[in-house]
Amino acid sequence: MANFKLTISDIKGKSLSKELKDSDANPLLGLQLGNETDATVVGLSGKLKLTGGSDKSGVPMRDDVHGAARKRVLLSKGVGLHDAEHGDRVRKLIRGNTISEEIYQINCKFDGELPVESPAEDAAEKTEDKKE
């Protein structure tokens, strides 16, 4: 029973959020950061590239840590480390690069443009539905 919150960004800088539950989320299990998958999982046509994510307690995923487990890694820069002085290294808790059931949020890059609806169109559709 995997539940994921996908944040999908396109080449123009627009982004949207989708939530996948149970059987819809199963195709993403076992994929690694940097892999591409079919975007039909979220109802789009094209490819999604997995770029990052975090687990249920906010621990970030890092693409150079293998596996799905949490590990304490010695970092000097990059994902999971803010403002290290020159030459400093800090041991931080990082999640591996493989998507498992403990992952909560997954960041993706879409290879085309996202169809984004304006709030005015959404309001118009809701009022039409109420009239009927």
d(CA 119, CA 98): 36
DSSP one-letter string for 1-52? --EEEEEEE-TTS-EEEEEEEGGGTGGGTT-BTT-EEEGGGGT-SSEEEEEE
**The pLDDT of residue 118:** 56
- Low-confidence stretches of the chain (pLDDT < 70) are 116-132
**Whole-prediction pTM:** 0.79
Q: Let me know: does 36 contact 48? Beta carbons within 8 Å.
A: yes
**The pLDDT of residue 132:** 59
Q: Let me know: does 46 contact 11? Beta carbons within 8 Å.
A: no
